[in-house]
Structure 1
């Protein structure tokens, strides 16, 4: 099955839940396992939260853009913002690195996204924004139960 969607929303924290739920609904035809749903929702949540908090500093006027495609059993997704950008992507992707310790941020967002996805890439330019791309392949519940 192939499908595609785009979602655009104002960069406020409440819209992280909107993105997470919309994309979870989008992948339901893939018949994901509960564990896969949980991992996918976490990836979406981390990517969107980063865009809202770090990219736009919760400005409430800018937009986060999501583009998702289903190709077979794989979801390819892009979360992008046109915010502040990341000064050093390699450093930002290091576990425990955070630019917002006062907000009780753990600095594990990229590490978590990387561990739950099949591939993750981050492109960023200061003053122009950030693009997070990831892919995740799903094993439908019907297939997963046959292999046990």
Structure 2
């Protein structure tokens, strides 16, 4: 099942790329969808892993480990997949994030996710898509705030990160 979302933000593509790509392991410092995160290793490249701890939503309670499977700084795009910690209602999950410059110090960020459900859950695919869409909207809301204001949303700051 494919889940795609885009958002236009009032920030340069370069700033968005630094936050999303160079800061791949730091996602927990600016979004409400991840409590804590860290990068294994020193730099983001194919094979790099990010560990994310989540305490709410469909991924709550587990540490999700994600691995970069494609990385192209020139095109400002990268892909990653979950390698451990997915909830039982997902067989696999991967996502591609891309940043596109727009006119006037703006950019578009596009997420192209693909999830595989176990056979017994396929009939409920639309409901799963809605639930995951909610998480993605929260992620984009947090991302937009961080890029446009230079600081995380107050809810993230209140966590003490």
TM-score by length of 2: 0.28
- Larger strand percent: 2
Structure 1 length normalisation: TM-score?
0.29
